[in-house]
Amino acid sequence: MDRLMLESETGFRKRSKQGKFSDEDNDEEYNDEEDSEDERAVRRKKRKSDKEKQRQTADRCRASSMKEVLDDFFQHQQKIQEQWRYAAQKRQQERLFRELEWKESMEKFEQQRRAQEHAWREHEEMRRLREEARAEKRDALFAALINKFFQENGS
């Protein structure tokens, strides 16, 4: 009863379940304190269960959201790893290709070097043969001159 007077003096109005304000109060609620206490206990339990359901729903939502974030993260990581693998394979193929080109060019240079060395040896052999031939001619000429000198002086 005191509550009713206090509410009417302060202008406090109770909100009904439909969300509208009303000045009407349920007399049974205030007259029967045991009933009121039971209802309050029921309401508290209901509020607690509602809060618990909301918390569980929020937890599920957060868990679902976290799962989605983790799934997105893992998918992104997998894409990055695939791109890295692709790039690594491409670099490996390019490296092998350059290595093969280098090997072929070195073999070509080696063949050229061998050919030049062979040509140089042949040229040197020809020069040596010409020099030997000149030396033999010179020796023959000196021998002929010496023989002629001894024949002229000896006779």
Which is more confidently placed, 148 or 22? 148
Tell me the pTM. 0.41
Task: Supply 89's token pair.
Answer: 């394979």
pLDDT of residue 17 exceeding 50, the answer is: no
H or E segment to which residue 50 belongs = helix 33-154
Q: What is the pLDDT of residues 52-79, one digit of tens each?
A: 878 888 777 777 778 888 899 999 999 9
Q: What is the pLDDT of residues 110-143, one digit of tens each?
A: 999 999 999 999 999 999 999 999 999 999 999 9
Q: Give the whole-angstrom CA distance, residue 30 versus residue 1.
A: 7
